[in-house]
Structure 1
Amino acid sequence: MNILDPQGPIAAADKTILLDSIAIMLAIVLPTIVAIFAFAFWFRQSNDRATYWPDWAYSGRLELVVWSIPALTVILLGGVAWIGAHQLDPAHPVEGTGAGVTVEVVSLDWKWLFIYPDQRVATVNELVVPVGSPLHLQLTSGSVMNAFFVPQLGSMIYTMNGMVTRLELRADEVGNYQGLSSHFSGDGFPDMLFDVQVMSQPQFSDWASSTERSGQALNADVYRKLSEQSIETTKTKYRLDDPELFQAIATQRIPPGPGPRLTTNLARPESGASNVR
């Protein structure tokens, strides 16, 4: 999950913004550190050449330096963030080769469901995509708010029940990468990881065809069972029987899960609460 090893254009742009921001901040941090040691050395007690000004109170030139450098730093950082935020709008289309792939993403407790409506397949904790193709991700939550993030592809984005967010990505190198939940969501949060497999276009077509012939079907009943709180250790593949399943989840025709629950409530123990009138 190395953010400094991008495998797509969005992650590469994120890396550039990160390094540029660090360089801008170092422009004020490094001189400040040097000045601390320089002042400590020059105004040491044993230095007879250091001038002592007991009545010194104000210097316009010094104030100009002290305030202009941080102001320029804030302006530059703000400009980098402003321009980058618009250029890397999550919903902005990303060009690529081959046909685009639509993936409907549902965050659950504590697993990820990936639905491919065009290929009529679905997977759990495994995102499979063709190299070079534009990826059109539509994301929602079947429980509490969460956050989807593949560090080497870029652009963390929230998932929320009752609404759909969009994310456009592209993977430029064949390989296996790691995705994760970057928003705390209860006991199973540390294990809420998923694999990202980037393969060639022919391999992706073969994978979709073989998965579509899978004996396991995904429909509303299977989804309700899948949405129960659990940590999935297997990468299950499904044949998509209900192409409207994602819309039913996003519009809450299928009610969202209850979310994480306390096993013990130390703040309001049940024995104490029952005595309150």
Structure 2
Amino acid sequence: MLRLRTLLLALASAFALSGCQYHVLSPQGWVGDQQRNLLIISTLLMLIVIIPVLIMAVYFPLKYRADRDDTSDYDPTFEHSNKIEVVIWGVPILIIIALGYFTYVYTHRLDPYAPLDHLEAGAPVEVQAVSLDWKWLFIYPEFGVASVNELAIPEGRPVNFSLTSSTVMNTLSIPALGGMVYSMAGMETKLHLIADETGTFPGRSAHYSGPGFSHMTFDTLSMSDEDFNAWITDVKAKGATLDRTSYLELEKPTIDEPVRYYGSVEDALFRRIVELCVEDGKVCMGHMMMQDELGGGGIEGIPNASAYSYDRARTIDGFGNLIELPDVEVKAFHEAFWNDPDAICSPDFVFAEKKNNG
């Protein structure tokens, strides 16, 4: 009965795992191929040590067990062997050298910021990817269109990604094509991929980012040039307009967002997203850093604090719902400082500031 249960459990496990997709070991792009090769090479090199250790872990206890009959090979005066020392030290050193060499080669070969021009695979496609809560926005600046939770790319042509985030850090991961790079608010990162075959490959965020993380997935549609151009034409015909106003609406947290398209995109919208100044009246990151370099706004700049605030308007609770916080009351701070600079350090003022401004 126990054997039958064990067999049934094994069959159930095999059935459950039969739906798994092993894109890392069966990639569909040059970058994924190179990463798979490095994984296999590293595994084989480490097995040079692991397999002999596993064999010796069984062989030596059996051969030299205390109750064995033949003890003629027992040598109580044995204390050193040059051959053994060469093996136990030389082999690991050679493996480490080999691992270091391959890691160095593949690290430079697979630099995510390095374009794939050496493949001579045709003109690349530019894609600006924005991680939102909890969905992906893909902007095609060359064509003036955008999509949500669907990425279309032409097969056999490099795709140059520019990535950023509206709030927390995320990672763009398409295992079948390889690579995984972070997207961060106020920064622009790069990733270069290519699909060698047509098909639909799953993509997702691989970095936990809140309650909607499990639904932050998308399909990567690898298609021929003709089908890709048809997809662009279809999006232009059916899609809405993505401007600063519609982006701010799209940016609001949603879970399990359906695929949607935008037939036109406002110029320089991605740059404003990176600079955290899509909203009217917000100071862009570049100007903010320039002001900091020049000494900042000083006390006179305190009343303009709302123009530099970004995260406050995007505060959410544990369920992903926006929390409306009261406006920052900087006037009280400003007046208190001018009337009595020492007053801002008093317990009463600190309590009032915490109550009003968090």
Task: Give the TM-score normalised by structure 2.
Answer: 0.69
Amino acid at match of 2:138: F
Distance 1:260 1:129 in 2: 34
Q: Does 1:73 align with 2:129?
A: no
Could you tell me which residue of structure 1 aligns to residue 53 of structure 2? Answer: 32
Structure 1 gap segments, 5+ residues each? 264-273
Distance 1:71 1:41 in 2: 29
Q: Does 1:228 align with 2:252?
A: yes
Distance 1:226 1:233 in 2: 10
Match of 1:85 among 107, 132, 135: 107
Q: Does 1:258 align with 2:314?
A: yes
Distance 2:247 2:96 in 1: 48
- What pairs up with 1:4-19 in 2 under 5 angstroms? 4-19=25-40
Asked if the contact 1:96–1:170 (Cα under 8 Å) also holds between the matched residues in 2, the reply is no
Structural RMSD (CA): 2.0
Distance 2:206 2:315 in 1: 16
From the superposition, tell whether residues 91 and 43 of structure 1 become closer, same or farther in structure 2 (CA, over 3 Å): same
Could you tell me which residue of structure 2 aligns to residue 44 of structure 1? Answer: 65
Q: Does 1:133 align with 2:154?
A: no
- Match of 1:29, SS state, is helix
Could you tell me which residue of structure 1 aligns to residue 233 of structure 2? Answer: 209
Match of 1:242 among 266, 280, 283: 266
Q: Does 1:22 align with 2:43?
A: yes
Could you tell me which residue of structure 2 aligns to residue 101 of structure 1? Answer: 125
From the superposition, tell whether residues 9 and 215 of structure 1 become closer, same or farther in structure 2 (CA, over 3 Å): closer
Shift of 1:56: 4.9
Distance 2:263 2:195 in 1: 25
From the superposition, tell whether residues 215 and 185 of structure 1 become closer, same or farther in structure 2 (CA, over 3 Å): closer
From the superposition, tell whether residues 72 and 92 of structure 1 become closer, same or farther in structure 2 (CA, over 3 Å): same
Could you tell me which residue of structure 1 aligns to residue 322 of structure 2? Answer: none
Match of 1:121 among 130, 145, 148: 145
Amino acid at match of 1:68: G
Larger Rg: 2
Amino acid at match of 1:210: D
Asked if the contact 1:144–1:259 (Cα under 8 Å) also holds between the matched residues in 2, the reply is no
Match of 2:211 among 163, 166, 187: 187
- Structure scoring higher RCO (CA < 8 A, sep ≥ 6) equals 1
From the superposition, tell whether residues 128 and 259 of structure 1 become closer, same or farther in structure 2 (CA, over 3 Å): farther
- Match of 2:57, SS state, is helix
Shift of 1:184: 1.0
**Mean Cα deviation higher: 220-229 or 57-66:** 57-66
Higher helix share: 2
Could you tell me which residue of structure 1 aligns to residue 172 of structure 2? Answer: 148
Asked if the contact 1:176–1:196 (Cα under 8 Å) also holds between the matched residues in 2, the reply is yes
Identity of aligned residues (%): 37
Distance 1:101 1:199 in 2: 13
The one-character-per-residue Cα deviations of 1:176-202 (angstroms, maximum 9, x if unpaired) are 110111111111111111100011101
From the superposition, tell whether residues 44 and 212 of structure 1 become closer, same or farther in structure 2 (CA, over 3 Å): same
Distance 2:210 2:185 in 1: 16
Asked if the contact 1:103–1:136 (Cα under 8 Å) also holds between the matched residues in 2, the reply is yes
Distance 1:240 1:102 in 2: 16
Asked if the contact 1:143–1:259 (Cα under 8 Å) also holds between the matched residues in 2, the reply is no
Distance 1:260 1:90 in 2: 32
**Mean Cα deviation higher: 218-227 or 70-79:** 70-79
Number of residue pairs the alignment of both structures matches: 264
